[in-house]
Amino acid sequence: MTIAWITARGLLGRRRSWLLLPMPLILIGVTAVGLAFDAPAADLIDGVLLGLGVAVILPLVSLIVGTGVLGSEIDDGTVVHILTKPIPRSRIILSKLVVAATVSAVTVAVPMFVAAAMVGGVKLGLGFAAACVAGAIAYSALFLALSVVTRRPVLVGLLYVVIWEGLLSNLVTGTRTVSVQHFVIKFAAEVSGSSLFATTVSTAVAAVMTVVFTVVGTWLATQRLRSFSVAGETS
Amino acid sequence: MSDLDLRGVSRWYGNVVAVNDVTMNLGPGVTGLLGPNGAGKTTLLHMMAGFLAPSRGEVLIDGDATWRNPAIYRKLGLVNEREAVYGFLSGKEFVRASAKLHGLPDADAATRRAVELVEMADAQDRRMDTYSKGMRQRMRVAAALVHDPAVLLLDEPFNGMDPRQRMHMMDLLHRLGAQGRTVLFSSHILEEVEQVSGTVQVIVAGRLAASGDYRTIRRLMTHRPHVFAIRSSDDRRLAVALMASDSVAGVTLGKDGLTVHAGDYGTFTRALPRIALDEGVRVRQLIPSDESLESVFSYLVSA
């Protein structure tokens, strides 16, 4: 509980976190503009909800938050205060994950619900909101693990989002089975029942892989935190 | 009462050996870990605190390894050199968070006790990013002490403190040692160690160079042979006269003058002008050639 409290305060107190604020507004704004110009629902779903919301805002928010909950504490050294306590490392990671996933999910799912509901009604809104919550959890676990595995989690995270998900998974459909973005698209289509968009990943694969991302990310982060070494500078 | 036991501990990074086969046993009381910068003090402290795996050997607290063993923090407190704190918390919140993370039954009472111990009650409600360096350091000590650990490790705790804060911290460490805690702090300044601790572990180039009572080590440091470089109007004549003096252990005659090994600093520097005057030699240059702390340490290594 205390870890989550400190994490949340640290996260929301950082200037970088305020970058999150305009993103939901942009999403709703662009949707409103599209509707005002009578754009077809299929175009708005493809261009705004998927192209901007799912492909950009969801991963970006998760990246900022997911690396912010642990990565920045490792960077500035405050993580030592938490590590010098007799707490199982799994509990530290789980607390961080809960905070990261909650903040990301709320930041993304709420505006996604609003934007999607504007385009295609409440059912479409619920579909996107639910899918984004699942996506936020998987992304958070992934970026949390990156924070402990590499010294440059933001860079590696960006590479994954931009190169792997943005580029490769649109060219080579096979890579979609390890792309959170496509799980989210599948969930959104499944929950909303909309036939206006789809992806090649099956529901079963999307569900299983979301769990795999979350579990493996959490497990990996815990393992690495167990053998966490302070940078070996001698002075 | 706890003891900290290092058995043949080494740590290397690739080809660089940071800590080399250190064995020591620390019991209750204050111990100073003294060594020049880069000697491996921080590496050693990190291994003691469970933040670095020894490449060889083991670090034990009451028989339990510190590496990959979070349970050890029940009896261990650490104040590391990086003074990172959560600036957005007040001092009290910071200490209280530590108490909660330790799962103490009465976090509020423990917080009050720890804050009083470091005499920070007046400033405890201010945000930590408004604190001076010394205040922040004291709050970090309070957070490290909140669970009443038997072992307290501090990395360069006096760094950047003004004289008053320094005295405060020294006094605090004294009291903690007197309470029967095992307190270890690192420093590269002899005077700091001398004022706080009874026992000293001297570490040079990753090796344990000397250990024991500080008075003995202090004596070794000041009453060691000194080396001087001298140039004069007649080096050979002066060399002969110097060899006759009790205060001189050896003289080397070189192209650029004399290298004199004196047995004792004071006696030699008093004797030199008299000898030169008697011999009618003019001394043009007198340079003590090994006054750096490093040379003091390296002398200790060979002693």
Contact call for A229 and B73, based on CB within 8 A: no
Contacts of B73 in chain A (CB under 8 A): 84-86
Same domain, B111 and B33: yes
Last residue of a domain, one of B194, B221, B248: B221
- Residues B262-283 have pLDDT tens digits of 877 778 888 899 999 999 999 9
Shortest CB distance from A6 goes to which of B77, B97, B102? B97
Neighbour count for residue A165 (Cβ, 10 Å): 21
Q: Calculate the average pLDDT of chain B.
A: 89
- Residues B212-233 have pLDDT tens digits of 887 777 667 666 677 889 999 9
Same domain, B100 and B46: yes
Pairwise CA distance, residues A68 & A195, whole Å: 37
Measured CA to CA in angstroms, residue B54 lies from A33, A97, A202, A224, B69 at distances of 61, 30, 48, 17, 14
Pairwise CA distance, residues A125 & A49, whole Å: 10
Pairwise CA distance, residues A31 & B78, whole Å: 53
Is residue B302 pLDDT above 80, yes or no?
A: no
Domain CATH code at residue B273? 3.30.70.100
Same domain, B60 and B205: yes
Same domain, B68 and B203: yes
Shortest CB distance from A9 goes to which of B40, B51, B88? B88
Contact call for A76 and B42, based on CB within 8 A: no
Helix (H, G, I), strand (E, B) or coil at A130: helix
What pLDDT shows up at residue B28? 94
Q: Which domain holds residue B171?
A: 4-221
What pLDDT shows up at residue B262? 85
Same domain, B187 and B71: yes
CB of B182 closer than 8 Å to CB of B192: no
Contacts of B110 in chain A (CB under 8 A): none
Residues belonging to chain A with any Cβ–Cβ distance to chain B shorter than 8 Å: 1-3, 5-6, 9-10, 13, 76-78, 80-89, 226-230, 232-235
- Residues A191-227 have pLDDT tens digits of 999 989 988 899 999 999 999 999 999 999 999 999 9
Last residue of a domain, one of B221, B242, B264: B221
Is residue B71 pLDDT above 70, yes or no?
A: yes
Measured CA to CA in angstroms, residue B8 lies from A89, B24, B61, B86 at distances of 28, 8, 15, 37
Same domain, B187 and B234: no
Same domain, B33 and B69: yes
Contacts of B98 in chain A (CB under 8 A): 81, 85
Contact call for B78 and A80, based on CB within 8 A: yes
The pair of three-digit structure tokens given for residue B273, joined into one six-digit string: 């002008």
pLDDT band at B295 (very low <50, low <70, confident <90, very high): low
pLDDT band at B300 (very low <50, low <70, confident <90, very high): low
What pLDDT shows up at residue A162? 93
Pick the residue from chain B with its C-alpha nearest to A235.
B38
Domain CATH code at residue B197? 3.40.50.300
Per the model's pLDDT, the better-predicted residue between B33 and B226 turns out to be: B33
- Residues B35-62 have pLDDT tens digits of 888 889 999 999 999 999 999 999 999 9
As a whole number, mean pLDDT of residues B97-124 equals: 95
Q: Apex CA B80: angle with CA B62 and CA A222, to 5°? A: 75
The strand pair at B76-79 and B151-154 is best described as: parallel
Same domain, B143 and B258: no
- When scoring B86, B147, B204 by the number of chain A Cβ atoms within 10 A, the one with the most, hence best to mutate, is B86
Winning range, highest mean pLDDT, from A169-173, B3-7, B84-88, B296-300: B3-7
What pLDDT shows up at residue B50? 95
Closest chain B C-alpha to A146 CA, distance in angstroms:
20
- When scoring A69, A91, A234 by the number of chain B Cβ atoms within 10 A, the one with the most, hence best to mutate, is A234
As a whole number, mean pLDDT of residues B105-129 equals: 94
Sheet with B248-254, strands from edge to edge, namely: B248-254, B257-262, B226-232, B283-288
Shortest CB distance from B143 goes to which of A13, A81, A227? A81
Of residues B296, B101, B140, the one with CA closest to residue A89: B101
What pLDDT shows up at residue A121? 94
In this prediction, the residues of chain A whose per-residue pLDDT falls under 50 are 232-235
Contact call for B73 and A84, based on CB within 8 A: yes
What pLDDT shows up at residue B215? 74
Contacts of B102 in chain A (CB under 8 A): 85-86
What pLDDT shows up at residue A10? 86
What pLDDT shows up at residue A99? 96
Pick the residue from chain B with its C-alpha nearest to A226.
B68
Pairwise CA distance, residues B272 & B246, whole Å: 11
Same domain, B274 and B167: no
What pLDDT shows up at residue B299? 64
Q: Calculate the average pLDDT of chain A.
A: 92
Residues belonging to chain B with any Cβ–Cβ distance to chain A shorter than 8 Å: 11, 13, 18, 37-43, 46, 49, 51-53, 68, 70-74, 76-78, 80-82, 84-86, 88-89, 97-98, 100-103, 143-144, 156
Contact call for B77 and A85, based on CB within 8 A: no
Same domain, B23 and B61: yes
Is residue B301 pLDDT above 70, yes or no?
A: no
Contacts of A83 in chain B (CB under 8 A): 51, 70
CB of B100 closer than 8 Å to CB of B145: no
- Residues B72-90 have pLDDT tens digits of 999 999 999 887 888 889 9
Of residues B38, B8, B209, the one with CA closest to residue B201: B209
Pairwise CA distance, residues A131 & B300, whole Å: 68
Q: Which residues contact A201 (CB under 8 A, 6 or more apart)?
A: A176, A177, A182, A183, A185, A186
Same domain, B127 and B263: no
Domain total in chain B: 2
Is residue B303 pLDDT above 60, yes or no?
A: no
Closest chain A C-alpha to B245 CA, distance in angstroms:
42
Contact call for B84 and A77, based on CB within 8 A: yes
Contacts of A10 in chain B (CB under 8 A): 86, 88
Same domain, B16 and B165: yes
Last residue of a domain, one of B188, B221, B254: B221
Q: Which residue reads 């909309």 in tokens?
A: A194
What pLDDT shows up at residue B43? 94
Judge if ipTM > 0.90: no
